[in-house]
């Protein structure tokens, strides 16, 4: 169970508003990258018993994340969310889009944090806020873990909405990640407007006047995928 040790250490240093930042959606082939910033305030009481299950969103079931999403919103001082769509990702690259989504999440807050902690090894460039990048922060720091849940659930909901527009890809199931089914549907239908043109194998659709079936082997999730007559085989 995570506690507020890191946040409370910053409170004792004189900070009033402390934020935890994380993102979701760097790896998928389609859809946006979403970031969330969760604010803890020095005098705001958080019911940690209610939020005892908060941890890295990847270690929670979808049902548990959905439940915690509401509980986090009810208990923490404030939450901000930032979104960068697939066009922005293609224009500036996924790393820069992730940083931009984080800046947007901070910008969405009414109460700006005086200190932020974020998951990963890279701080956010060109911001005046004091910050600390923490590798594995979503496993170590409550506010970062809470932000990971907010970001993940927000993005999953966006992708379920997109499923209604493009049901053939199964976005409601894989949320845009490169599963075998998703790759099969890409081979069958080609990409839609939600797919990231800068990501393989999407880029092949746009670089070749033919289509992805003319490229017999691509690498997906460290596996070679072979396309033969619209049938996918893992080598």
Match 């986090």 to its residue by tokens.
72
Contact 112/105 with Cβ under 8 angstroms?
Answer: no
The tokens describing 47, both together, are: 């019911």
Based on the fold, state whether residues 103 and 154 are members of the same structural domain.
yes
Domain-located, residue 169: no
Say if residue 144 is exposed, middle or buried (CB neighbours under 10 Å; 0-12, 13-18, 19+): buried
Q: Which ranges of the chain have pLDDT less than 50?
A: 209-235
Contact 96/170 with Cβ under 8 angstroms?
Answer: no
Contact 164/95 with Cβ under 8 angstroms?
Answer: no
User: 57: which DSSP letter?
Assistant: G
**Known binding residues for a divalent metal cation:** 22-23, 119
Domain of 10, in residue numbers: 5-164
Confidence at residue 178, expressed as pLDDT on a 0 to 100 scale: 95
Confidence at residue 206, expressed as pLDDT on a 0 to 100 scale: 82
Domain-located, residue 172: no
Based on the fold, state whether residues 117 and 210 are members of the same structural domain.
no
Based on the fold, state whether residues 11 and 83 are members of the same structural domain.
yes
**Known binding residues:** 22-23, 119
Based on the fold, state whether residues 127 and 218 are members of the same structural domain.
no
Based on the fold, state whether residues 76 and 104 are members of the same structural domain.
yes
Based on the fold, state whether residues 77 and 112 are members of the same structural domain.
yes
The tokens describing 213, both together, are: 């079936």
Based on the fold, state whether residues 47 and 142 are members of the same structural domain.
yes
> Residue 118 sits in a domain of what CATH number?
3.30.420.10
Residue that finishes a domain, picked among 164, 194, 211: 164
Tell me the whole-structure pTM to 2 decimals: 0.87
Contact 39/78 with Cβ under 8 angstroms?
Answer: yes
Based on the fold, state whether residues 90 and 133 are members of the same structural domain.
yes
Domain-located, residue 84: yes
- Per the structure, the count of domains in the chain is 2
Beta strands across the sheet bearing 115-119: 78-84, 33-41, 17-24, 115-119, 130-134
User: 144: which DSSP letter?
Assistant: H
Based on the fold, state whether residues 188 and 223 are members of the same structural domain.
yes
Domain-located, residue 173: no
Contact 21/102 with Cβ under 8 angstroms?
Answer: yes
């Amino acid at each position: 169970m995570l506690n507020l040790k890191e946040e409370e250490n910053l409170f004792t240093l004189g900070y009033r508003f402390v934020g935890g930042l994380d993102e979701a959606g760097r790896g998928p082939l389609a859809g946006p990258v979403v970031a969330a910033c969760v604010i803890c305030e020095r005098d705001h009481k958080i019911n940690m018993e209610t939020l005892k299950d908060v941890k890295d969103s990847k270690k929670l079931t979808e049902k548990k994340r959905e439940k915690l999403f509401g509980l986090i919103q009810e208990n923490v001082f404030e939450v901000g969310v930032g979104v960068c769509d697939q066009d922005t990702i293609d224009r500036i690259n996924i790393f820069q889009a992730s940083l931009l989504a984080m800046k947007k999440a901070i910008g969405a807050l009414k109460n700006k944090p005086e200190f932020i902690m974020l998951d990963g090894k890279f701080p956010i460039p060109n911001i005046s806020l004091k910050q600390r990048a923490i590798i594995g922060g979503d496993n170590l720091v409550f506010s970062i873990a809470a932000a990971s849940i907010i970001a993940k659930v927000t993005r999953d909901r966006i992708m379920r909405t997109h499923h209604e527009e493009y049901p053939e890809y199964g976005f409601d199931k894989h949320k845009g990640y490169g599963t075998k089914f998703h790759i099969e549907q890409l081979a069958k239908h080609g990409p839609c407007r939600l797919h990231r043109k800068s990501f393989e194998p999407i880029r092949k659709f746009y670089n070749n006047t033919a289509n992805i079936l003319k490229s017999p082997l691509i690498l997906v999730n460290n596996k070679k995928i072979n396309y033969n007559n619209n049938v996918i085989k893992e080598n």
